[in-house]
Amino acid sequence: MAKAMNIQLPKLLKKEADYYVKAGLYSSRAELMREALRYYIRHALKANVDIAVELYKKEEVSLGKAAELAGVSYEDMRQILKNRGIKIKIGPQTVEEAEKETKKLTKRAR
């Protein structure tokens, strides 16, 4: 059985929630809040993953930072990238790439 949780809504939000209940769309504020939380978890967290993937593809963030932004583990992020057909980059492949990365990092640090 799930543990109950109390949430205090601002007056305006409480009033808006009551409209949904009065209209019969939800049986209670609690039902509305549960559905709102489910929606958020399904959509907002997916958006975080999508943002992290795009930043990783553009080499704006590391794999570790992408995982942090997405709210997933390092290994989960590796799997997400793999499933999307994105090659995992592990360090520079050439001296030129290493120099380019060093310059980029030095520029960001300033």
Which one-letter amino acid corresponds to residue 14?
K
Q: What is the largest CA-CA distance in the chain?
A: 67
The domain limits of the chain are: 11-109
Q: Confirm if 52 and 77 have CB atoms less than 8 A apart.
A: yes
CA dihedral for 46, 85, 63, 75, sign (positive or negative): positive
Q: Confirm if 66 and 77 have CB atoms less than 8 A apart.
A: yes
Render pLDDT for 75-103 as a digit per residue (tens, 0 to 9). Answer: 999 999 999 999 998 777 778 877 887 88
Of 20-24, 56-60, 62-66, 92-96, give the range with the top mean pLDDT: 20-24
Render pLDDT for 21-44 as a digit per residue (tens, 0 to 9). Answer: 999 999 999 999 999 989 988 888
In degrees and rounded to multiples of 5, residue 71 shows phi and psi of: 75, 30
> So what's the pLDDT on residue 1?
66
Q: Where are the alpha helices (DSSP H) in 6-28?
A: 11-22
Higher-confidence position of 83 and 6: 83
Q: Confirm if 27 and 21 have CB atoms less than 8 A apart.
A: yes
Compute CA distances 61 → 66, 69, 87, 90, 108, whole Å: 6, 9, 14, 13, 12
